[in-house]
């Protein structure tokens, strides 16, 4: 694995930076650091991942696209008198292929693996879907008892003309027993960002 310095992004992404569309929530307006200073890299042509923390190239997948890992310390229950220290670990990967309406369905992708995940101890507690004709997202929030942790598994699908980009962002939160039930999705939206540069398709 190798560390990634800030902004090794493709020329197309840099040129279109002023007009890039994002799928992050409004909470990104409260970022603790300017997004331009975050390390990041392209995970597929026209798609960049950035994070306010440590972004590392883990490997190249079978498709030849990079697999990134991200981590940072976090404070759970930040609004309380006694915040709890923890760690946020994410793995980000993408694949791409021909676009089809049938495959442009994050919920269908999760349904295909939900039974296997249950057997592995993942307990889904909430699902939040959003999207447009160009980008669709499903955030699956849940917990695991051994080891004790919470997770946000995001299925993000983007259409670029005849191309379908299928992204997985899997974030796990490790913390001590003092954190009863942290609200983890805002941390994903605050500290990570996906950016798309598809020209006229946006």
The pTM of this model reads 0.82
pLDDT along the chain (202 residues), means of 10: 48 36 36 76 94 89 85 89 92 94 95 95 96 95 90 96 96 85 92 83 33
> Considering the chain, what percentage of its residues have pLDDT values greater than 70?
81
pLDDT given at position 18: 31
How far are the Cα atoms of 36, 150, 173 from residue 116, in angstroms, in the given order? 38, 18, 21
pLDDT digits (tens, 9 = 90+) for 150-160: 999 999 999 99
pLDDT given at position 178: 77
Domain boundaries, the chain: 2-201
Two structure tokens written together for 10: 């493709």
pLDDT digits (tens, 9 = 90+) for 86-107: 999 999 999 999 999 999 999 9
């Amino acid at each position: 694995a190798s560390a990634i310095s800030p902004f090794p992004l493709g020329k197309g992404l840099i040129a279109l930076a002023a007009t890039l569309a994002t799928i992050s929530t409004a909470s990104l307006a409260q970022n603790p650091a300017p997004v331009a200073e975050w390390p990041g890299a392209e995970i597929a042509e026209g798609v960049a991942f950035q994070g306010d923390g440590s972004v590392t190239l883990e490997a190249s997948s079978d498709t030849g696209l990079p697999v990134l890992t991200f981590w940072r310390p976090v404070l759970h229950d930040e609004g309380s008198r006694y915040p709890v220290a923890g760690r946020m670990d994410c793995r980000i990967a993408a694949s791409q292929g021909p676009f089809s309406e049938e495959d442009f369905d994050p919920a269908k992708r999760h349904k295909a693996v939900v039974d296997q995940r249950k057997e592995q101890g993942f307990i889904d507690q909430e699902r939040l879907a959003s999207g447009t004709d160009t980008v669709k997202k499903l955030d699956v929030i849940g917990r695991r008892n051994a080891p004790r942790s919470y997770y946000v598994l995001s299925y993000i699908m983007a259409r670029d003309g005849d191309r379908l980009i299928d992204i997985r962002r899997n974030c796990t939160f490790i913390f001590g027993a003092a954190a009863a039930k942290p609200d983890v999705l805002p941390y994903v939206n605050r500290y990570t960002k996906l950016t798309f540069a598809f020209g006229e398709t946006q």
